Amino acid sequence: MKISQFLPAAMVLVLCASHSALATTIGFSQVGSESGWRTSFSESVKAEAKKRGIELKFSDAQQKQENQIKAVRSFIAQGVDAIMIAPVVETGWKPVLREAKRARIPVVILDRNVDASGDGLFLTRIASDFVEEGRRAARWLMDETDGNCRILELQGTVGATAAIDRMKGFNEVIADFPDATIVRSQTGEFTRTKGKEVMEAMLKAENGGRDICALWSHNDEMAIGAIQAIKEAGLKPGTDMLVVSVDGVPDYFKAMADGDANATVELNPHLGAPAFDVIEAYLKGDRKVEKLITTTGDLFTQATAAEEYAKRAGK
């Protein structure tokens, strides 16, 4: 005997409609909003979820891993269909990833890495090749300066893949140039404020920056803060001191168009669509998932900065 025999027709209709309208629910633990790039990434994930009718539970960790772990535990408790994590740092993820696995909730890692590859604790990671970004920035700088350059480096968040790998790639390339040296290197935590503050201190310690040929910044946001510090120190950024960075955010294209910055390696912020593709396919039973899905971007210079800025800032 069917339950519907005991229910009025209208109620059966309501039950059927609400069942078919059940949306896929995905929890997303995001690093924070430390940079323009990160904000575009979050916005793009939210827009893509809306387009696909996915119910997105978004959590901003304010650059703290402990907040991310709490958010993931809460997603598990709510019984979401899948979890996406854009991790602050690489270490410390295994216990909570095991909890998600025990609850049979698939996890996708976005952008920075976690030190749990090979343990079958996540479906896939969608990210750029950060080591290559560092290499490309360094190759551009070595070409521009004939390999003769005293460099200041602004590192990203300590322990974050984007900082570890960009530094590695950059150092690998300049190792072939005996007259290229990083004279000072410090973290600016990927933020504009800290980038400026740290740059001020480094310039002070380096005779106002007069013998420095370039700033290598692990992201545009810190570079923009540092450009301000270079100006306040009485130097012309982009001319007296070259500025090379990573991300390709509109504000940095503006700085290049104005002659204050020189080059950036673009980082694609549109990670929502490929992540949802993987998750939706997995939930439908497709188990053939690549362990790493790599995104790419170009290196941009002042040559095309004005037109790129117009496109990106919607002008």
Task: Mark the segment that binds ligand AHR (CB under 6 A) among 35-43, 69-77, 100-108, 301-309.
Answer: 35-43
Question: How many residues sit in the footprint of ligand AHR (CB under 6 A)?
Answer: 13
* Joined tokens for residue 241: 């001191």
Within the chain, residue ranges assigned H as helices are 9-20, 36-52, 65-78, 94-102, 130-145, 161-174, 192-205, 220-232, 250-257, 272-283, 305-312
State whether residue 40 is helix, strand or coil.
helix
Site map for ligand AHR, 63-92, x if CB under 6 A?
Answer: ------------------------------
- Looking at the DSSP bridge assignments, the partners of residue 82 are 26
The smaller minimum CB distance to ligand AHR, of residues 163 and 233, is found at 163
The answer to the question of residue 170 lying near ligand AHR (CB under 6 A) is no
* Joined tokens for residue 144: 């521009």
Task: Mark the segment that binds ligand AHR (CB under 6 A) among 13-21, 29-37, 70-78, 234-242.
Answer: 29-37
Contact 180, 243 (CB under 8 A): no
- Near ligand AHR in 282-301, by CB under 6 A: none
- Of 48, 197, 247, 260, the residue at the interface with ligand AHR (CB under 6 A) is 247
- Looking at the DSSP bridge assignments, the partners of residue 247 are 266
- Near ligand AHR in 175-194, by CB under 6 A: 190
Exposure string of 271-306, with b = 16+ CB inside 10 Å and e = fewer, is bbebbbebbbebeeeeeeeeeebebebebbebeebe
The answer to the question of residue 35 lying near ligand AHR (CB under 6 A) is yes
- Of 28, 37, 93, 122, the residue at the interface with ligand AHR (CB under 6 A) is 37
Q: How far apart are CA 244 and CA 140, in angstroms?
A: 8
The answer to the question of residue 246 lying near ligand AHR (CB under 6 A) is yes
Q: How far apart are CA 21 and CA 269, in angstroms?
A: 30
The smaller minimum CB distance to ligand AHR, of residues 111 and 260, is found at 111
- Near ligand AHR in 111-140, by CB under 6 A: 111-112
Contact 85, 107 (CB under 8 A): yes
Give residue 75's region: left, alpha or beta (phi > 0; psi -120 to 50): alpha
For residue 243, CA distances in Å to 19, 69, 188, 220, 238 come to 55, 36, 15, 10, 6
- Of 153, 165, 221, 308, the residue at the interface with ligand AHR (CB under 6 A) is 221
- Of 124, 219, 264, 268, the residue at the interface with ligand AHR (CB under 6 A) is 219
Q: How far apart are CA 282 and CA 251, in angstroms?
A: 38
The smaller minimum CB distance to ligand AHR, of residues 80 and 107, is found at 107
The answer to the question of residue 268 lying near ligand AHR (CB under 6 A) is no
The answer to the question of residue 153 lying near ligand AHR (CB under 6 A) is no
Site map for ligand AHR, 5-24, x if CB under 6 A?
Answer: --------------------
The smaller minimum CB distance to ligand AHR, of residues 221 and 308, is found at 221
**List of residues contacting ligand AHR (CB under 6 A):** 34-35, 37-38, 111-112, 162, 190, 219, 221, 246-247, 267
